[in-house]
Amino acid sequence: MYRDRVRLPSLLDKVMTADQAAALIQDGMTVGMSGFTRAGEAKAVPEALARLAKKHPLKISLMTGASLGNDLDKQLTEAGVLARRMPFQVDSTLRKAINAGEVMFIDQHLSETVEQLRNHQLKLPDIAVIEATAITEQGHIVPTTSVGNSASFAIFAKQVIVEINLAHHTNLEGLHDIYIPTYRPTRTPIPLTKVDDRIGSTAIPIPPEKIVAIVVNNQPDSPSTVLPPDDETQAIADHLIAFFKREVDAGRMAKNLAPLQAGIGSIANAVMCGLIESPFEDLTMYSEVLQDSTFDLIDAGKLRFASGSSITLSTRRNADVFDHLERYKDKLVLRPQEISNHPEVVRRLGIIGINTALEFDIYGNVNSTHVGGTKMMNGIGGSGDFARNAHLAIFVTKSIAKGGNISSVVPMVSHVDHTEHDVDILVTEQGLADLRGLAPRERAKVIIENCVHPSYREALTQYFEKACAHGGHTPHILRDALSWHINLEERGHMLAAS
C-alpha cells in the first residue's frame, strides 16, 4: 500500500526499518523533526532512536515545530537522548528534566526558529525526520496533520528521513501551502493579504537525493487532551463575546470580527466554542493549531475559513473530520509556522489573538511559562508572535488555581513573557479588563475591579494602595512584590500569614 504513496519509483529502494533509519542519527547531531501541537510528528524513528540509545548511549539536539504526541519526548528523555531541545514542549517527564537542568531547553517564539537557522544563528540540522502523507513524482514531501517547521528543516538538513504514515488519509494532500521567505538582503514581502490566500506549493520541495531513508508506519496522532468547557471557561467566553459585541456596536470591529487566533488548550478552545452561540457570522481564523472548536464552528455555519499550522482533534472529532475531509478542505489551509505566526502577516491582517496566561499582574504583565518564576511549564509558543502585533492581544485564565491557594492575578508576576506594552485585554471568569490607552495606575484599578477573585481582591487593593503611596509610574513595594509567590512556595497559600 505504501508503494502508491512513494510516487517517485527511484526512491523505493530507500525503504528500510525504523531501526535502520534511526541508526543514521549519531551522537552529537542536531536533528529537526516534524510535529506541531502533537500533530504530524515522526513517530517510528524517534521511538527506534530511544530504543537504540538504551543500548548505545547517544545525545542529540532536537528541534521540532512544537510539542510532540505519542509520549515521544518522554521516551527520548528517559533514554537520555536529549542534550538540547527547542522550541517548545508539553511533556511532564521532559519538563522535569528541563527544570533539573539536565536538558537545555531553548524556549522560542515559534515564528523565529527557522529564521535563526536560515541566518546560521543556530546550528543547522544534520538530519531531518519528517512524517509524510506521500512523496510526489518529483520527490517532494507531502506533510500530514501539521506543517510546523518541517519544510525548512528538510530544506536545511543534509539528509532527510521520511516516515510515510499510512494511518493518515491520502486526502490530506492539497491541504498544505508551503511558502519559504527568501534570503536577506533580497527578501520580498510575504504576498499574503487574506486568510485564504495560497502563496506556495502543496508539498515540500527538496532534491529527492537528500531522502536517505523511507520508513513506513501506521500509528495515529495522539488525540487532543482538551477538556470540555466548564462554568469558569464558559464565563470567560461570555465576557469576551460581550466585549466583541460592544466593539462591533462601537464601530471598532466589523460584524465578522477580525481573523481569530486561539492558543492551544481548554480555555481558548472554550472561548472559540462560545462563538457558536454568538451573533457573529462569516468568521475566519488565522491561527497556529486548529482544534475541535474550529470544526464545530464550521459545522455551525459560523466559520468561513481557517488557516493554521496543524490540526489537533479529540477522539470525538477525529474520525468525522478526517474521514470526511472533503467537507472541509476548501475551508482550510495548513502553513509553515513561520508564516502562520509571522509578525508581518499578523500585523497586516489585524488578528484577534487569544492566549492563555499562567498569571498576570496588576499592571498587565503576563507570565505564560514559569511556575513560581523558576519552573518551565511548556514554553512561550506562538503567544508572543501574535500578541505583539495583534489588533487585540487578549490573555485569558481562571482567576484562581489549586483550590484557591493560588491567585492568577498577583502584585508582580514572577516571570514576564508579555509586557504591559503588548497586552490589551485580560479576562478571567470574574470579568474583563480593557487596558487599551491606560497608564499603569489606571490599568491596576481596572484589573483589580474586573479580574481578581473576591478572596484576593482586598489584599491586592491593599498592595496597590500601599505601592501608590510609595510612588512611581508603576508603583511597587519591592519587599512585598513577590511575597505572594514566596508564601505559596513556603506555606502553600499565596496569602498565608508569614
Binding-site annotation: residue ranges for CoA: 378, 382, 402
Least distance to a copy of itself, CB of residue 461, Å: 16
Residue 197 is a binding residue for a copy of itself (CB under 8 A): no
Q: Which of residues 257-286 bind a copy of itself (CB under 8 A)?
A: 258
Examine residue 343 and tell whether it contacts a copy of itself (CB under 8 A).
yes
- Backbone torsion region of residue 297, taken as left when φ is above 0, otherwise alpha when ψ lies between -120 and 50, otherwise beta: alpha
* Residue 496 touching a copy of itself (CB under 8 A): no
Among 38, 302, 391, 398, binds a copy of itself (CB under 8 A): 391
Nearest one of 63, 61, 59, 60 to 32, comparing CA atoms: 63
If we measure between CA atoms, which residue out of 461, 464, 355, 451 comes closest to residue 399? 451
C-alpha cell at 267: 480555555
Residue 101 is a binding residue for a copy of itself (CB under 8 A)? yes
CA dist 275 → 226, 227, 237, 283 (Å): 17, 17, 8, 9
Binding to a copy of itself (CB under 8 A): which residues in 226-255? 250-252, 254
DSSP E strands, 180-329: 211-217, 260-262, 283-286, 289-290, 303-308, 310-311
In whole angstroms, the minimum distance from the beta carbon of 254 to a copy of itself comes to 7
In the chain, the largest separation of any two C-alpha atoms, in whole Å, equals 76
Q: Segment near a copy of itself (CB under 8 A), from 187-195, 261-269, 271-279, 447-455? A: 187-195
Considering the complex, state which of residue 20 and residue 116 has its C-beta at the smaller distance from a copy of itself. Answer: 116
Q: Which of 196, 176, 203, 167 is nearest to 318 (CA)?
A: 167
DSSP per position, 121-150: SSPPPSEEEEEESEE-TTS-EE--SB-BTH
- Nearer to a copy of itself among residue 105 and residue 395 (C-beta): 105
3-state secondary structure (DSSP) of residue 401? strand
Q: State yes or no: residue 314 binds a copy of itself (CB under 8 A).
A: no
Which of 28, 207, 472, 492 is the binder for a copy of itself (CB under 8 A)? 472
Applying CB under 8 A, what is the total number of residues that bind a copy of itself? 85
Active site residues: 288
Site string for a copy of itself, 141-170 (x = CB under 8 A): ------------------------------
CA distance 266 to 232: 11
| Cβ at position 440, least distance to a copy of itself in Å | 8
Q: Enumerate residues 119-138 that contact a copy of itself by CB under 8 A.
A: 119-123
